[in-house]
């Protein structure tokens, strides 16, 4: 019935870094891998065809955005997200929980990553209770209920290969009591999500998934080690999912984030692929791969491209093409990069495009950043396979 499988190929000696392969009905994912965000069923300024050409293995879309616009039924009528977006490779959808609570509490995203900025988002969460979350559409103000059952129904319609259980993404600015209560409710929601998923009540043979989907559980517990342990226990012993994601608040700064991820992943074994939600800084990826993380997702590589930043190796991590110092520079972003942008265009041309506000600039940087991330993951994998991880990491960070 299912074509899904997961196997670990090689494990590093000094740490938990590992290569593996996730197989899906839409193809294989060599891990560690990066998942690019097609939030609203589009990679913003990039076609799925070009993403494929840039070695992209898997993309994700967002349940919350797509249930509001264009509606998951319309996507199902197309035969699922693969047909809708023209992407024939593996896909994942999140459960909608993150966005509900991000828009509900203000910007959870900032808090999870330890940024203390003020929210620009309107609060749209009306009520949160055992049943689920009642919220207003940011598009037209209409009222919607998102529950575990509804999230799974929507994700069935969307038809991605991998779906997530519905959870509350607890923010950083709540106390341990709230974090614990929220975690326990998310566990109950996980059970309801899995029950809805297994019941195939929402199985829709007309859409692209045709029931061929697998589900990920999510480890909660915020910054509290005992809660993380409790959630790991729940996710690995009480439920049985294909994969497991690390979610919730990861602290108020990078050190805290690394500590929480390190602690959590150290308790996980090779049984399931492990996904780290919402993290995408190339410099952090080396650290988290060492902790045994198999997949990552983040809007960052494509978002910073649209703001003029190109990813580069080394501690600096990126350069901004709006900087006048590139005005007359006839070199590419990176002489050693084989992406279309670096093979064909100079820094001076890219600077010109951003100065002249040409949309092509966003596309060319998106191209570079997508290629860059996929190339980074390829280097990471090959260093593990060649017993050269620590050396490769050091070399990369000091480029």
Give the interface with a copy of itself as residue ranges (CB under 8 A).
Answer: 40-47, 49, 65, 69-70, 74, 77-78, 84-86, 327-328, 330, 340, 344-346, 348-349, 351-353, 355-356, 358-364
CA dist 172 and 182 (Å) reads 12
Whether residue 144 contacts residue 135, with contact meaning beta carbons closer than 8 Å, is answered with: yes
Query: 1 or 139: whose CB is closer to a copy of itself?
Result: 139
Q: How far is CA 232 from the centre of its chain?
A: 20
Per the CB < 8 A criterion, the answer to whether 354 and 308 are in contact is yes
Contacts of 178 (CB under 8 A, 6+ apart): 170
CB 198 within 8 A of CB 239: no
Alpha carbon distance 33, 297 (integer Å) = 9
Q: Taking the complex as a whole, how short is the minimal distance between the CB of residue 376 and a copy of itself, in angstroms?
A: 23
Q: Running DSSP on this structure, what letter comes out for residue 296?
A: E
Q: Which of 287, 297, 334, 388 is catalytic?
A: 297
Question: Catalytic annotation on 269?
Answer: no
Nearest-approach distance from CB 80 to a copy of itself, in angstroms? 12
Q: What is the distance between the alpha carbons of residues 313 and 334, in angstroms, rounded to a whole number? A: 9
In whole angstroms, the minimum distance from the beta carbon of 385 to a copy of itself comes to 32
Whether 94 is catalytic: yes
Q: Name the DSSP letter for residue 235.
A: I
Q: Which residues pair with 128 in a beta bridge?
A: 133
In the bound state with a copy of itself, the residue whose beta carbon lies nearer, of 87 and 216, is 87
Establish whether the linkage from the previous residue to 236 is cis, with ω within 30° of 0. Answer: no
Give the active site residue among 94, 167, 291, 334: 94
Task: Indicate which residues carry an active-site annotation.
Answer: 94, 297
């Amino acid at each position: 019935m299912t074509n899904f499988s997961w196997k670990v190929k090689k494990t590093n000696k000094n740490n938990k870094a590992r290569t593996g392969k996730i197989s899906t009905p839409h193809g294989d994912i060599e891990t560690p891998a990066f998942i690019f965000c097609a939030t609203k069923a589009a990679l913003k300024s990039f076609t799925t065809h070009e993403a494929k050409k840039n070695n992209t293995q898997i993309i994700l879309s967002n349940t919350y955005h797509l249930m509001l616009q264009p509606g998951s039924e319309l996507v199902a009528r197309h035969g699922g997200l693969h047909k809708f977006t023209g992407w024939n490779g593996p896909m994942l959808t999140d459960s909608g929980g993150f966005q509900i609570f991000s828009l509900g509490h203000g910007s959870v995203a900032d808090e999870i990553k330890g940024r203390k900025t003020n929210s620009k988002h309107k609060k749209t969460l009306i009520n949160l209770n055992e049943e689920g979350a009642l919220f207003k559409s940011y598009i037209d103000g209409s009222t919607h209920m998102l529950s575990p059952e509804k999230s799974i129904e929507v994700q069935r319609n969307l038809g991605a290969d991998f779906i997530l259980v519905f959870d509350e993404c607890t923010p950083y600015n709540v106390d341990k009591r709230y974090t614990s209560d929220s975690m326990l409710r998310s566990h109950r929601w996980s059970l309801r999500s899995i029950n809805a998923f297994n019941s195939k009540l929402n199985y829709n043979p007309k859409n692209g998934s045709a029931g061929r989907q697998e589900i990920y559980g999510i480890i909660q517990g915020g910054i509290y080690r005992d809660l993380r342990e409790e959630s790991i226990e729940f996710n690995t012993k009480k439920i049985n999912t294909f994969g497991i994601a690390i979610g919730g608040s990861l602290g108020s700064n990078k050190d805290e984030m690394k500590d929480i991820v390190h602690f959590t992943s150290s308790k996980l074994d090779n049984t399931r692929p492990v996904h780290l939600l919402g993290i995408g800084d190339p410099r952090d990826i080396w650290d988290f791969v060492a902790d045994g993380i198999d997949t990552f997702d983040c809007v960052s590589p494509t978002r910073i491209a649209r703001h003029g930043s190109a990813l580069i190796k080394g501690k600096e991590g990126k350069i901004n093409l709006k900087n006048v110092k590139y005005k007359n520079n006839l070199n590419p972003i990176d002489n050693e990069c084989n992406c279309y942008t670096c093979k064909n265009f100079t820094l001076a041309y890219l600077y010109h495009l951003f100065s002249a506000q040409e949309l092509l600039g966003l596309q060319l940087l998106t191209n570079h950043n997508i290629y860059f991330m996929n190339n980074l993951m390829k280097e990471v994998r090959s260093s593990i396979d060649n017993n050269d991880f620590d050396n490769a990491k050091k070399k990369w960070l000091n480029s």
